[in-house]
């Protein structure tokens, strides 16, 4: 699956390599089990805690929005466009959130994880707006 990272009007832009590292980290976190957690290194556990904190931040942000379908599950929304779109379907409309909104949400999630790991300062210095 191709991962599009919007550059235009995206305050949470990450370079492709850093975004992909965060994507793999979030994917690993989602698929982890108690068995792998016990065998994981201290650094991996620290990275997974950053993913948990980023998910908690997003959950709090989206709790403030009126939502008729319940509380947003940030990890589920990160990987499933249909779920994300369904959660942001306005009253009286058949269409949900656009793919661009989903891509911006995914960028925000990855940016928060990178920020909590202390990787954002390097990303902002290497940004190319060209």
Would the pLDDT of 93 be above 90? Answer: no
Q: pLDDT by residue (tens digit) across 25-58?
A: 999 888 875 456 556 778 888 999 999 999 999 9
pTM, to two decimals? 0.82
Least confident of 17-21, 43-47, 55-59, 105-109: 43-47
Least confident of 14-23, 38-47, 56-65: 38-47
Q: How far is CA 76 from CA 82, 88, 93, 102, 126, in A?
A: 10, 14, 23, 12, 30
């Amino acid at each position: 699956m191709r991962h599009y990272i919007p550059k235009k009007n995206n305050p949470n832009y990450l370079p492709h390599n850093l975004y992909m590292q965060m994507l793999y980290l979030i994917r690993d976190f989602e698929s982890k089990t108690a068995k792998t957690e016990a065998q994981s290194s201290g650094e991996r556990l620290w990275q997974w805690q950053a993913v948990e904190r980023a998910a908690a931040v997003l959950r709090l942000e989206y709790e403030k929005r009126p939502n008729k379908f319940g509380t947003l599950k940030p990890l589920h929304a990160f990987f499933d466009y249909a779920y994300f779109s369904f959660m942001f379907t306005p009253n009286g409309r058949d269409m949900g959130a656009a793919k661009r909104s989903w891509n911006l949400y995914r960028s925000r999630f990855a940016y928060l994880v990178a920020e909590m790991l202390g990787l954002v300062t390097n990303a902002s210095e290497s940004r190319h707006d060209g």
